[in-house]
Amino acid sequence: MIRATLAVVSLVFATLASAETKVPTSQVEIQLGFAPLVKEAAPAVVNIYAKRVVETRQSPFQGDPFFQNLFRDFGTTRPQVQNSLGSGVILSAEGIVVSNYHVVGMATDIRVVLNDRREFAARVLLGDQQSDLAILQLIDAPKDMPHLTLRDSDTVDVGELVLAIGNPFGVGQTVSSGIVSGLARSGTAAGAGQGYFLQTDAPINPGNSGGALIDINGDLIGINTRILTRSGGSNGIGFAIPTNLVAQFVAQAKAGNDTFQRPWAGASGQPVDADMAESLGMDRPGGIVISSLHEASPLRKAGLAPGDVILAVDGQPVNTGSEMIFRMSVAGLGSEADLTVLQKGRPQVVRVSLAAPPEIPARETITTGRRSAIPEVTLSNINPAVIANSRLPLGAEGVVIEDPGPSGARAGLRPGDILRAVNGEETPDTKSAQRALRNAGSRITLAIERGGQQILMRFRL
């Protein structure tokens, strides 16, 4: 009996010893704990401390519900340092790091701290507020940095065990566990991040942003970005940006881009609901029905037309515009994507060339001078690239206000306003708009298009 007991104890200790030296590969090993997995992955997850200098206005009316808006430009400005705390993941031995844009965007000083307490300065190679991703390069780092391997995020299934590693609340590196609870989540994460997400129930707290979401093999499947919660705590739904999009960000950063370029669809549409599916002869809801196409749209050139339904991109189903743009972005600029579409009731596959929105006509950006009726207003000719950047309607033409400047903001102008006329004189391009504003005189009437609404703005200098 004693020998049998000793044999069982030896077997248990042998199992524990082997679990300490390798990643869990079976259900039995997983039940023993995630310690081996964490030891392998944690060195590649870093803490990020960022500083940015912003101009703040000190006004005696601050906090007043009426006068703070009436006198929003009243008072002196002075620089103020803002600090942000987040996490990041090392993706290469050369020190390429991915994090969230809301952690490092517009930062003037970035410090990256490893879990072994080594510290390095870093600079942003590429950032994108819309996707809430940023790629950094460690400065003066050795060429043998610990890093994680990217897994194809399209192979992730609901129910997989995952770990979230980051630096919540600035307390140091922590690990939380959960499962992948949903795929293809779009438009659900609060903040700047928009697009396609993996959903997890692993707790994600403030400071986890930019941290790693890994599978039981230690491979990276997503970058933690947001949590949807009613209480403000971690008892909510977490969202992670899939690694397939991260890979495209890294590729463009290595190619020398400082901003992320997305393939342009030049189309607008809406998800197909049950009523629309019945009218289109579909057996179930799904896909995106095209409502309009820009004349330069690559979808139009491939033979698509309003009323067609886009069902999938490269074999992956899409049900929202965010999902379609995500799939096109993953395919990458300069490549081709196979769109499964429903045309006149018949499904077929159409190949589309993926390219950035064209700069035709030239945007010819200008900023009005001191002699202008409204100085320091930045104007651009509208073209597909401007439509994409400023999120204007597909049919937009003319001149857009990219930055109203201090005077324009006081007059009520906003970025994205389309300037149609000044004192009755039409402004089809930036040169005519600049001339009209210079000759406007002391009484000004501006014809503005904002959100599809026509607005007349009258004021006297």
**Lookup result for tokens 């803490």:** 47
**CB contact set of 274 (below 8 Å; sequence gap of 6+):** 285
Rounded Cα distance between 174 and 307, Å, is 50
Closest Cα partner for 162 from 245, 238, 236?
238
3-state secondary structure of 223: strand
For 263, phi then psi, to 5°, come to -60, 145
132 is catalytic: yes
E runs forming strands in 129-173? 133-138, 161-166
Measured CA to CA in angstroms, residue 186 lies from 183, 195, 203, 324 at distances of 9, 5, 19, 11
What interhelical angle do 321-331 and 243-254 show, nearest 10?
Answer: 50
The angle formed by the CA atoms of residues 203, 184 and 224, to the nearest 5 degrees, is: 30
CA distance linking residue 218 with residue 209, whole number of Å? 19
Task: Give the number of residues written for the chain.
Answer: 461
Residue 448 near residue 418 (C-beta atoms within 8 A) = yes
Query: Which is catalytic among the residues 87, 176, 209, 372?
Result: 209
Picking from 312, 308, 97, the residue whose alpha carbon sits closest to that of residue 184 is: 312
What's the CA angle centered on 24, arms 43 and 168, to 5 degrees?
40
Active-site residue (options: 84, 87, 99, 102):
102
DSSP per residue, 395-442: T--SEEEEE-HHHHHHHT--TT-EEEEETTEE--SHHHHHHHHHT--S
The span from the CA of 450 to the CA of 404, in Å, is 14
Nearest residue to 227 (alpha-carbon basis) of 183, 193, 259, 177: 193
Residues 114 and 107: their CA atoms lie apart, in Å, by: 19
Q: Is 209 one of the catalytic residues?
A: yes
Question: For residues 205 and 169, is the Cβ–Cβ distance under 8 A?
Answer: yes
CA atoms within 13 A on the CB side of 58: 5
Cα 114 off chain centre by: 25
Task: Tell me which of 128, 132, 219, 429 is the catalytic residue.
Answer: 132
Which residues are designated catalytic? 102, 132, 209
